[in-house]
């Protein structure tokens, strides 16, 4: 990690990531920070125009911003088409994942023969016939079931559970408490109302470059697999039911729920606590707003919403009461229209 201590000059940064440098390229950047808090060895970014006036007072060593904003910027700067993405790449460069030394902690229980270049944390359990790609890092207290395959450079934080037979791609990151491959919620109702469990025989198959948040759950398929395609990003406490398929590069905010067999397109964004009912198909490039319940398939790209507006409780009490009588209200209007037309005819 000597790179991190020494940082990078602006020249080195621009030679790696492009962009137009305005200012002295020998300036050495040690860390990233907000415009408001950055010091002289730190790089800040300006992406939201609302913070533009912070440029004047910022003590940042340099700023990444758009070509427009670079015009007249009082600080050394790098002009980029996409300042936030540029900033993210520099932040990654300056803050590489801390590399755990390879090796199996003596307190781990490992029932498979693993690649030498793998790190297994304290107290983790690795079942039989597990394959873990080189450079992968399994945190403390994980549980990896029999027959699981992990790609190279995957990173599991502590207390991740992967049920038997699931497949996880390369460079995938899974945060603590996530549960991959638990049984889908499948029960057949008997005549007496009791439920007979339907064995869940599919797997969870997760692509490359996926990130999965803390305490998110992804259930295994009933017969076919549950599939999370490459580059999907899932926040915390998301629930993905059995046989769902999520298209590549789709991102979901926290607390989203996707019911069984739903198919979500590519490059979708799903806002926090949105819910998608089962067996629906959502097209590519669909954006769903927070707290929206999707009850029908969506075939066109675009943004869809369905949350109820909030208001002061006393106003809500008055307004909400009418929601149960909208049909009657509409009927009153219909009657009014008819009576008025009658009257208009008469006069």
Instruction: Please list every residue from 57 through 86 that binds a second copy, using CB under 8 A.
Output: 81-82, 84-85
Least distance to a second copy, CB of residue 106, Å: 9
280 binds a second copy (CB under 8 A): no
Count residues binding a second copy (CB under 8 A). Answer: 129
**Residue 275: CA atoms inside 13 Å, Cβ hemisphere, count?**
7
Least distance to a second copy, CB of residue 114, Å: 16
306 binds a second copy (CB under 8 A): yes
Q: Which is nearer to a second copy, 26 or 48 (CB)?
A: 48
Long-range Cβ contact pairs of 320-323 (< 8 A, separation 24 or more):
none
Q: Which is nearer to a second copy, 25 or 272 (CB)?
A: 272
Between the two ends of the chain, the Cα-to-Cα distance in Å is 90
Check: CB of residue 33 under 8 Å from CB of residue 48.
Answer: no
Of 85, 65, 83, nearest in space to 75 by CA? 65
> Which helix (DSSP H) or strand (DSSP E) does residue 337 occupy?
helix 326-346
Least distance to a second copy, CB of residue 27, Å: 20
Long-range Cβ contact pairs of 229-236 (< 8 A, separation 24 or more):
229/266, 230/169, 231/207, 232/207, 234/210, 235/272, 236/175
Instruction: Please list every residue from 144 through 173 that binds a second copy, using CB under 8 A.
Output: 157-159, 161, 163, 173
242 is catalytic: yes
With CB under 8 A as the contact rule, the residue among 23, 28, 123, 281 that binds a second copy is 123
Least distance to a second copy, CB of residue 323, Å: 6
Question: What's the CA gap between 130 and 142, in Å, rounded?
Answer: 13
Q: Which of 105, 159, 175, 242 is the catalytic position?
A: 242
Burial label for 281, CB within 10 Å (0-12, 13-18, 19+), is middle
25 binds a second copy (CB under 8 A): no
Least distance to a second copy, CB of residue 219, Å: 7
Instruction: Please list every residue from 233 through 272 that binds a second copy, using CB under 8 A.
Output: 233, 235-237, 239, 241, 249, 251, 253-255, 257, 259, 266-267, 272
Of 126, 90, 94, nearest in space to 108 by CA? 126
With CB under 8 A as the contact rule, the residue among 176, 280, 281, 283 that binds a second copy is 176
With CB under 8 A as the contact rule, the residue among 59, 211, 281, 283 that binds a second copy is 211
With CB under 8 A as the contact rule, the residue among 4, 51, 112, 185 that binds a second copy is 185
Angle CA(285)–CA(291)–CA(293) in degrees, nearest 5? Answer: 70
Encoded tokens for 307: 């949350």
Q: Which residue numbers are catalytic?
A: 242
């Amino acid at each position: 990690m000597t790179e991190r201590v020494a940082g990078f000059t602006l020249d080195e940064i621009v030679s790696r990531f492009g962009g137009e440098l305005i200012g002295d390229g020998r300036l050495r950047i040690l860390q990233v920070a907000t415009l408001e808090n950055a010091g002289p060895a730190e790089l800040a970014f300006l992406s939201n125009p609302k913070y533009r006036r912070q440029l004047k007072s910022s003590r940042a060593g340099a700023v990444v911003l758009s070509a427009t904003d670079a015009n007249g910027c009082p600080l050394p700067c790098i002009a980029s088409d996409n300042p936030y993405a540029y900033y993210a790449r520099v932040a990654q460069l300056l803050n590489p994942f801390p590399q755990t030394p390879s090796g199996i902690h003596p307190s781990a229980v490992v029932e498979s023969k693993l690649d030498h270049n793998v790190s297994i944390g304290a107290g983790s359990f690795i079942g039989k016939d597990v394959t873990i790609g080189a450079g992968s890092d399994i945190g403390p207290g994980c549980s990896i079931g029999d027959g699981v395959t992990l790609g190279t450079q995957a990173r599991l934080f502590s207390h991740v559970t992967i049920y038997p037979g699931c497949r996880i791609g390369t460079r995938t990151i899974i945060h603590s408490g996530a549960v991959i491959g638990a049984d889908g919620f499948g029960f057949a109702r008997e005549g007496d109302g009791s439920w007979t469990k339907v064995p869940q025989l599919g797997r969870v198959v997760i692509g490359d470059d996926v990130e999965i948040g803390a305490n998110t759950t992804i259930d295994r398929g009933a017969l076919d697999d549950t599939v999370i395609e490459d580059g999907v990003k899932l926040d915390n406490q998301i629930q993905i039911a059995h046989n769902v398929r999520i298209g590549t590069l789709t991102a979901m905010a926290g607390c989203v729920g996707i019911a069984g067999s739903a198919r979500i397109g590519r490059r979708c964004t799903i806002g926090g606590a949105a819910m998608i009912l089962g067996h629906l198909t959502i097209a590519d490039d669909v954006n769903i707003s927070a707290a929206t319940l999707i009850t029908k398939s969506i075939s066109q790209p675009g943004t869809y919403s369905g949350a109820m507006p909030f208001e002061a409780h006393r106003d809500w009490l008055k307004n909400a009461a009418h929601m149960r009588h909208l049909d009657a209200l509409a009927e009153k209007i219909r009657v009014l229209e008819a009576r008025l037309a009658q009257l208009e005819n008469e006069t």
